Amino acid sequence: MKIVFLDALTLGDVDFERFKEFGEVEIYKTTSEKEALNRVKDADIVVTNKVVIDKDIMDKSDIKFIQIAATGMNNVDLEYAKKKGILVKNVAGYSTYSVVQQTFALVLGLLNRVKYFDEYTRTKYPESKIFTHIVDWFEIRGKRWGIIGLGTIGKEVAKVAKAFGAEVVYYSTSGKNSSSEYKRVDLDELLKTSDIISIHAPLSENTKNLISFSELMKMKDGAILVNLGRGGIVNERDLAKVLEDKDILVGLDVFEKEPINKENPLLKSDKTLLSPHIAWTSIEAREKLMNGIYNNIKEFLN
C-alpha cells in the first residue's frame, strides 16, 4: 500500500513514523492544485486536510481510500467518490475542547480588553498618577450568551458560559438541534438581545452569509461577536463597514479566504481580535486527530 500525505504542514509537528507499518509513505508539507494529481495518481490511500480531491483526480488515479485530516469534508467530491467505490472518512470530535477554549480566549481577550491593557501597562502605566486605569468592561455573569449552531462544540460552549453565570440561548442553523436546557430563539431575537454571540456552525447553503449587514446592525451596542465556525458565515465586507460606526467587538478565527488577504480592512480595525484558524490545533486535539487517521487507515486495511 502507498499512503500519501498531501499537506502535512497543516498538522504541525506530529509523528508519521507509525504509518510506515502500512506500507510506503510519502509526505508532502504542502501541495498545490497543479501538483495534486501527479502526487496521488499511484497512491492507494490519500490523506488530505485542505487539498481538493475532485472528479478529475479520482478518474486519473488509483485511489482506494481518502482520509480527510479534519472534520469538514467539503474538499472532496463525496458523491463521485461513492460512485467510484472510493471510501472517504474524516475524524469527528477531535478538536471540541480545543475550539471551546479558543472561543473563550477570544471572548475574554475582547471583553477584558487584554491587548489594550497590555499595551497601556507597558507604555503609560509607569507614568500614571494612580494605581489603576479605568476603561469600561462587563462581566459575563448575568448577561445573555447567544450560540449560533448548538452542535457538539456549541453545547460545550454553552456549559462553560453557564458556569460563568450567563443565560444561554441558541439558534439552530439546521433546524434539527434542540435542547431542553437552553432556550431556542430565532436569529433575529438572538442578535438583538445577546451580549455575547458565538458561532459554531458549518458552512452550508443555510449559513453562507448568515451574518451580513442587516444582521450585524441588529446587534446591541457594546456586544461581542466571535466566529469559530467557518469564514463564509460572516460577510467580511459588511462586517468591516459596520465596525466603522457601530460599537461592537469581533473575534475571528476563520475567514472567507485563508490565509486572509493582506488588504482585508479587518486586519487594521482596533475592534477585532484575530487568530489564524488555530482553534482546532491544541496539542491534545492534534494527537486525537492523528490517532483517528491511523485507526481509520488500519480499519480500512483490515
Residues with a catalytic annotation lie at 230, 258, 277
Q: If DSSP states are collapsed to H, E and C, what string results for the chain? A: CEEEECCHHHHCCCCCHHHHHHCEEEECCCCCHHHHHHHHCCCCEEEECCCCECHHHHHCCCCCEEEECCCCCCCECHHHHHHHCCEEECCCCCCHHHHHHHHHHHHHHHHCCHHHHHHHHHHCHHHCCCCCCCCCCCCCCCCEEEEECCCHHHHHHHHHHHHCCCEEEEECCCCCCCCCCCEECCHHHHHHHCCEEEECCCCCCCCCCCECHHHHHCCCCCCEEEECCCHHHECHHHHHHHHHHCCCEEEECCCCCCCCCCCCHHHCCCCEEECCCCCCCCHHHHHHHHHHHHHHHHHHHC
In whole angstroms, how far apart are CA 118 and each of 91, 103, 150?
38, 20, 34
